[in-house]
Amino acid sequence: MRKVSEKSSIVLLRMLCMILLFQFCFSITCIQNELEALLQFKRSFDDPYYRLASWKGTECCSWDGVGCNQITQHVTMIDLRSDINQVDFYSLPLSANSIDSSLLELKYLNYLDLSGNHFNYTQIPSFLGSMEELTYLNLSFALFSGKLPPHLGNLTKLAVLDLSFNWPETNDDIEWISHLSSLQFLSLTGIDFSKTSNLIQVLTSFPWLVSLRLNYCNLQNIPFSLVSSNYSSFLSRVQLLDLSYNQLSGSIPKAFQNMTSLKFLYLSRNKFTGIEGGLSSFIRNNCGLKVINLSMNKDFGGDVFDSSYENEFVGCSHGHDLQVLQLSDTSMKTKIPIDWLGKFKNLKLVDLSYSKIHGSIPAALGNLSSIEYLDLSNNALTGEIPTSMGRLLNLKVLDISSNSLKGVLTEAHFVNLSKLHTLYLSYNELISLDMKPNWIPPFQLKKLDIGSCIGSYGSEFPQWLQTQKALDELWLSNTSLSVSCLPTWFTPQNLTTLDLSHNQIVGPIFNSIADQMPRLTHLFLNDNFLNDSLPLVLCKLKSLFTLDLSNNRLSGTVHGCLFTLNLTLLDLSSNYFSGTFPDSHANPSLLYELFLRNNNFEGSMPIVLKNAKSLKILDMEGNKFSGNILTWVGDNLQSLQVLRLRSNLFNGTIPSSLCNLPNLQILDLAHNQLDGSIPSNLNNFDVMITGKGIQEFIRFCWRRLCLNTEKNVVQFIKSNHFNYSTTQLRLMVNIDLSNNSLVGFIPKEITMLKRLIGLNLSYNNLIGTIPMEIGELESLESLDLSFNKLSGRIPQSLSKLNSLGALELSHNNFSGNIPREGHLSTFNEASSFDENLHLCGNPLPIKCVNENPYELPSKNIDDNLDQDQEDKWEKWLLYITIILGYIVGFWVVVGSLILKTGWRHAYFKFVDEGYYKVHATIWRS
């Protein structure tokens, strides 16, 4: 009994100690100077969403993002990272003008993470180099500027340093990094090292480095030979190496085969053409390699999978540990290397998409029992899908979309795929699905895309979908659906993306959609036969980001409540909408793309867009919008890259504020009633001048969604209409002001837009000459100045435009010889110069009077200029002679009458007598 009692006492004592320790740990009172430092640090931030709300009181060790040593009570950790991968718009980063120096009071701070916050492009303060206790420092994605800060070289205890995606400047001196002798993890992603000469020497000097990330660093030539000969110890230690998204070219060198500890190798998005010794040899010499990513090396290919499979495991006593093989977007040009792949028993992910793989899917693929992710999409695969695929027990993701596969898929193809959650079969037009209505699949899909597969399930929703309770993405585009309402059993409460586009759906938009799928973020109903008006039920979808209703038969007005949603893309184009645009006081601050073209909207510019500060594409072509183009378009919509107001009824002048849009690439105001002159401040179009800052129109998004949101924008260039996708638009820079009533001169500032590809000013009332500097438009491919009142000579500088493919100067008042130098000699269509009465020379049939085929062009031009000057002086001399003669004659007569009284009386008597004689004659007759 005594022993039991003693044991109970010990247990109780231990519990009491734990309780006391627990209370002690969670009621630590800050050391006063550290408390004051933290509060000062808090005050340096702009915190609109109260992320630092817990930073109050004296128990700082319980504050969010603060950690302390439980014994000494000193602050040792600050972790205020803002996760840039979060998609909710309510977790915004903190912002400050700099890192506050109050951190110097935290003498024992060893962990500092401020990544993802905004420091307004200021430089990293030098005092951080004095915080020598730091072992972990992460300032990535924090909007710093300048070069890499050398003062950080004093942090000799640093084990982790992440400075990724800061400093747009080129860094040519990084010797200070070699002082960080304790580094184990180094990430310098996104920093420009194109002019750094000692990069390899610095990076191979660390005795403990195991992880190195240098992706997006503009690396072009790395002397890998130095690595192999002088730094073998570096090669034997590194476990993770990321050199992706650079400009590295040639073959992947054998030096990498000596990296005996390497587990993760990322070389994607470079210009590699192959690998020395072949991929088999490379993997054979790196037995511990788990991940190899060579994707997006577009010329990478050749004999990558050699035939010496029998020697794969030589030197690897425990076999290979390869788990991830990514070769997408390369040039394999081979069949699926099933024998080669079959050697890797731990292989979990295989990505051969976009790699020109051809042939059929081998039945032996079903033997890769460890495979979890298989992507063979966007290749040239043919034949039927083998039923052996149903044996892949661990398969979670299968993507065989965008091939030329055929045949019928039945239950047998999926019989054992109980772990499958993502299935993509789309764009295999000869594949059909034949499942019994009462089929219960063994899986619960999250993502399903069977778009553009014929005869998948007739014209109705597939019945087996009612068993899929976990669906969050469903793509049924171009599958011959002809329903008029959603099935009542179709209630996927977690569905975020629904694509029913390019079908034969008729009737009004489904009124039950908000109840059946309340979490929708992306809805595609475009290219159907929907009619009636927009239902108010759409405004209940509070999470909706993308709404595409284009190419239907919808009519009526647009509800203002649509702009109270978080829409990033709204496409209402090619319908029958009418009336004025809703005068809503909403704040569509997240709207990126708005397409309203080809409807019957009327009224002035939609005032609701005044606050659309993120808007990149505004396409209002083909409506009846009228009134002035308001100045707030140029003042407020600073993110605009495309502005298309073509074919409306806008009048008044072009506001000069439009030229305040620094990112604008396409300005299309053609076919309106605009008058006045062309603004002279065109040189404010920064992108059109430098090309810098041209961005992808599509946003960060998952690939399949980006493909679906790829919209088309029509551009009239080279006398033709072209459809440009939003990806292709990043290469288009165009100004079209044609078919208006513009007057005045062509401003010479327009010749500063060196990235301009198309310029159309035709069908206006412009006068004056073509600016002599027109040849500075080095990127120009299309120039149309026809049907104006331009005069003077065609500038010879046009001959410098080697990219010019279309030139229209007809129906003006140009004169003189048509220049035929350089690239202009290729324009042999007379129609380009027709209806210029004083224009002569090839390709017109009118020969110039002073044309001399043996005379040098430069001499002709000089003579013509001299003749012009001589003609001008002769005209002026004639005018002066006439005026002087008139003056002399006038004063000879009038002066004589003034000076001679007798003459004056005689003159007036003569006039009077003549007057009476004339009237007497008229009276008698």
What torsion do the CA atoms of 834, 837, 838, 842 make, to the nearest 10 degrees?
30
The region of weakest confidence among 205-214, 223-232, 813-822 is 223-232
> Domain check: are 842 and 885 in the same one?
no
Q: What is the mean pLDDT of residues 209-216?
A: 93
For residue 894 the two structure tokens come to 């009038």
The per-residue pLDDT for range 670-687, each reduced to its tens digit, is 999 999 999 988 888 888
Residue 914: predicted pLDDT: 46
Q: Where are the beta strands (DSSP E) in 442-516?
A: 447-449, 473-475, 497-499, 506-507
The answer to whether residues 752 and 844 belong to one domain is yes
Q: Are 751 and 819 found together in one domain? A: yes
Which residues are paired to 137 by β-bridges?
Answer: 112, 161
Residues 301, 289: Cα–Cα separation, whole Å? 20
Q: Per-residue pLDDT tens for 759-780?
A: 999 999 999 999 999 999 988 9
pLDDT beyond 70 at 140: yes
Element (H, E) at 162: strand 160-162
Whole-number pLDDT of residue 111: 97
| 745 and 686, same domain (yes or no) | yes
Q: Which of the listed residues 851, 868, 894 is the one where a domain comes to its end? A: 851
User: For residues 691, 697, 699 and 701, what is the CA-based torsion angle, rounded to 10 degrees?
Assistant: -120
Residue 896 has pLDDT above 80, yes or no: no
Same domain, 832 and 772: yes
Q: For 450-462, b where at least 16 C-beta lie within 10 A, e where not — what string?
A: bbbbeebbeeebb
Cα–Cα distance list, 823 to 138, 781, 827, 859 (Å): 55, 12, 8, 20
Average pLDDT over residues 429-442: 87
Domain identity same for 757 and 820? yes
Q: Compute the average pLDDT of residues 494-518.
A: 92
Question: How far, in Å, are 427, 566, 638 from residue 614 at the CA level?
Answer: 33, 12, 8
pLDDT tens for residues 540-551?
Answer: 999 999 999 999
Q: What stretches of 369-459 adopt beta strand conformation (E)?
A: 373-375, 380-384, 397-399, 404-409, 422-424, 430-433, 447-449
The beta-carbon contacts of 610-616 under 8 Å, at least 24 apart in sequence, are: 610/636, 611/586, 611/587, 611/636, 612/588, 612/636, 612/637, 613/589, 613/637, 613/638, 613/639, 614/589, 614/590, 614/639, 615/588, 615/591, 615/639, 615/640, 616/592, 616/640, 616/641, 616/642, 616/663, 616/697
* Band of pLDDT at residue 923, cut at 50, 70 and 90: very low
What CATH number does residue 745 fall under? 3.80.10.10
Tell whether 685 and 796 lie within a shared domain: yes
pLDDT band at 878 (very low <50, low <70, confident <90, very high): low
Residues 889 and 768 in one domain: no
The pLDDT assigned to 599 comes to: 96
Locate tokens 């130095």: which residue? Answer: 226
Residue scoring higher pLDDT (704 or 359): 359
Report which secondary-structure segment, H or E, holds 904. helix 901-924
- CA 555 distance to own-chain centroid: 32
Looking at residue 85, its pLDDT comes to 58
Least confident of 28-42, 502-516, 699-713: 699-713
Determine the pLDDT at residue 236: 75
Predicted local distance difference test score (pLDDT) of residue 901: 53
846 and 754, same structural domain?
Answer: yes
The rounded distance, in Å, linking the Cα atoms of 63 and 867 is: 87
Residue 273 within any structural domain of the chain: no
> Same domain for 774 and 889?
no
The DSSP call for residue 10 is H
Spatial separation of the C-alpha atoms in residues 394 and 477, rounded to whole Å: 28
pLDDT in tens, 830-875: 999 999 999 999 999 988 886 544 343 433 434 444 444 445 555 5
Domain boundary among 804, 835, 851: 851
Token pair recorded at residue 248: 């590295």
Assigned domain for 334 exists? no
C-beta pairs of 700-706 under 8 Å, 24+ apart in sequence:
704/424, 704/449, 704/473, 704/475, 705/497, 705/522, 705/546
**Into how many domains does the chain fold?**
2
Per the domain annotation, does 827 fall within a domain? yes
Average pLDDT over residues 190-214: 85
Percent residues over pLDDT 90 in the chain: 52
Angle between helices 901-924 and 857-899 (to 10 degrees): 100
Rounded Cα distance, 846 and 559, in Å: 61
Token output for 401: 């979309």
Distance CA 413, CA 399 (A): 14
One-letter amino acid identity for 322? Answer: L
Domain span at 741: 680-691+733-851
Shared domain for 904 and 826, answered yes or no, is no
Query: Mapping DSSP to helix (H, G, I), strand (E, B) and coil, where does residue 731 land?
Result: helix
Q: Read off the pLDDT band of 902 (50, 70, 90).
A: low
pLDDT of residue 480: 86
pLDDT bucket at 731, cuts 50 / 70 / 90: low
pLDDT of residue 200: 79
Determine, yes or no, domain membership for 920: yes
Encoded tokens for 517: 């799928």
C-alpha closest to that of 201 among 173, 166, 167, 241: 173
Amino acid 864: pLDDT: 44
Pick from 53-57, 358-362, 704-708: least confident? 704-708
> What pLDDT shows up at residue 893?
46
Residues 687 and 819 in one domain: yes
pLDDT, averaged across the chain: 83
Of 82-91, 662-671, 851-860, minimum mean pLDDT range: 851-860
DSSP classification of residue 919: H
Mean pLDDT within 378-391: 94
pLDDT tens digits, one per residue of 286-295: 888 999 999 9
Assess if residue 429 is contained within a domain: no
- DSSP annotation of 413 reads G
DSSP conformational letter for 227 = H
Flag whether 184 is in a domain. Answer: no
Q: Is 490 within a domain? A: no
Q: Is residue 674 part of a domain?
A: no
| Residue-wise pLDDT tens digits, 223-252 | 665 555 545 566 678 899 999 999 999 888
Q: Choose between 725 and 267: higher pLDDT.
A: 267
Phi (first) and psi of residue 252, to 5 degrees: -65, 120
pLDDT at 447 over 70: yes
Higher pLDDT, 626 or 89: 626
Q: What would the pLDDT profile of 299-349 be if each residue is shown by its tens digit?
A: 998 767 765 544 555 556 666 789 999 999 999 888 999 988 888 889 999
Among 801, 829, 851, residue at a domain's last position:
851
